Amino acid sequence: MNCRHCDVALRHSFLDLGHAPPSNAYLTEADLARPERYYPLRLWVCEHCWLVQTDDYTEAGELFAADYAYFSSTSSGWLAHARDYAVRMRSMLALQADSLVIEVAANDGYLLRNFVAAGVPCLGIEPTASTADAAERLGIPVLREFFGEALGVQLAKEGQQADLLIGNNVFAHVPDINDFSRGLKALLKPGGTLTLEFPHLLRLIELVQFDTVYHEHFSYLSLYSVQRILSAAGLRIHDVEELATHGGSLRIFACHEDDPRSQAASVEAVLQAEARAGLRDLTTYRGFQARADRVKDDLLSFLLEQKRAGRRVAAYGAAAKGNTILNYAGVRPDLLPWVFDAAPSKQGKYLPGSHIPIRSPENLDEIRPDLLLILPWNIAEEVMAQNDRIRQWGGRFVIAVPELEVV
């Protein structure tokens, strides 16, 4: 396998999580009687451009199917994050009724709904039918296609170039990151602004966030690698912000390479922080497997201890990151009989691999678990606030990453 960006042969393994099914391939009851498809789940690091990436085994069309179950609007915290961003961008860029905002991977309209409400024209690009349907019900025009250079060039020829071009948590999800970046270049209007948000590789390594590794994430991104990738496509990063979302993310602001905007000091500051943390040193990557194994082993030991003690343990959040850690640890319904999730699209289904049934949070009062393991630890505060009633029967919350904690 060669690097997806610079085509250099990959020689250095970063993480091996064995074999797992796609993390968002939730199962129906009928599916439980059928064979389940597993793929290797391994990460490699390129010593030339330092892009971290998964093995080449899966296709985007298989991972992001018509019934894709991830709906961004399920999280109230994420809705607030999107709303604040939209208000700020409208003011910063003076977006009006003659502007155009385009979001690649618009999901269920969680973000563009704010521009629709403000009277700013927008277009969503979203290949999964389930989420595109939800966005259209909010009055958002949606183009149901996978994005790449050909589509970017086509839209530009049709006069649809963006004053603001948005890609939230999509840059890591594309198998051909160079083609995708050239598409962004074509779709961005001269003088326009591109913003991309993505989980920061620096935080993944620092906080042992190995459960954010799954097949839908083809790449794991540092500012250094993203700067190289966008530069090769003719785009330039002129500002960057560090965000708390998804356990620690970056929001980059980019423009065409000949744009007169100067580069903010934040860009060099983040690049230096990455260098100090060893993101361009192979030793950093070689030591990560043992750290991930410790988190996995601690969770498995904890669940076994609770079973022996006769305590009822359930999980909250049928999240992709939860599927990664449960499948790597070999957790099945004998140790974790239920998982609760607020998304109707997941309720009544089963987690891939582990086959743990997904229930509505309303069933918490019926089951009354002693311990509730929060799988999407990035929204732990939100989950605890929404489900604080478990403390009425002595229930407590558990978080496994970066280390096991009972609160």
CATH number of the domain where residue 324 is located = 3.40.50.720
* 365, part of any domain: yes
Q: What are the tens digits of pLDDT across the range 57-104?
A: 655 555 555 444 566 767 788 899 999 999 999 999 999 999 999 999
Does 24 map to a domain?
A: no
Domain extent for 323? 295-406
Does an H or E element contain 192, and which? strand 188-199
**Average pLDDT, stretch 110-133?**
95
Domain limit, last residue, from 249, 266, 285: 285
Task: For residues 322 and 268, state if they share a domain.
Answer: no
What is the per-residue DSSP string for 216-234? T--EEB-HHHHHHHHHHTT
Q: How many Cβ atoms sit within 10 Å of the Cβ of residue 33? A: 6
Share of the chain above pLDDT 90, in %: 91
Q: Where among 256, 285, 314 does a domain terminate?
A: 285
Asked if residue 267 and residue 197 are part of one domain, the reply reads yes
Give pLDDT, residue 62.
57
Tell whether 280 and 314 lie within a shared domain. no
Same domain for 316 and 246, yes or no, is no
In a domain, 381, yes or no: yes
Same domain as 234, residue 176: yes
Which pair of tokens denotes residue 266?
């934040």
Number of domains in the chain: 2
Helices (H), 33-191: 60-63, 76-93, 112-117, 129-137, 149-157, 177-187
CATH number at residue 184: 3.40.50.150
Residue 57 confidence (pLDDT): 66
Within a domain: 16:
no
Same domain, 227 and 339: no
380 within some domain:
yes
- Residue 56 belongs to a domain: no
Is residue 38 domain-resident? no
More confident: 55 or 390? 390
- Distance of alpha carbon 340 from the chain centroid: 20
Mean pLDDT computed over 40-53: 96
Whether 303 and 255 map to the same domain: the answer is: no
Q: Please tell me whether residues 232 and 153 are part of one structural domain.
A: yes
10 Å Cβ neighbour count for 330? 12
Q: Per-residue pLDDT averaged across 345-349, rounded?
A: 94
Res 24: pLDDT: 85
Any domain includes 65: no
Q: What is the pLDDT of residues 139-152, one digit of tens each?
A: 999 999 999 999 99
CB 211, CB 256: distance < 8 Å:
no
393 with 373: CB under 8 angstroms?
no
Same domain, 247 and 308: no
End residue of a domain, out of 253, 285, 317: 285
Find tokens 């905007």 and name the residue.
Answer: 261
Q: Which residue has the tokens 């170039």?
A: 161
The rounded distance, in Å, linking the Cα atoms of 212 and 200 is 11
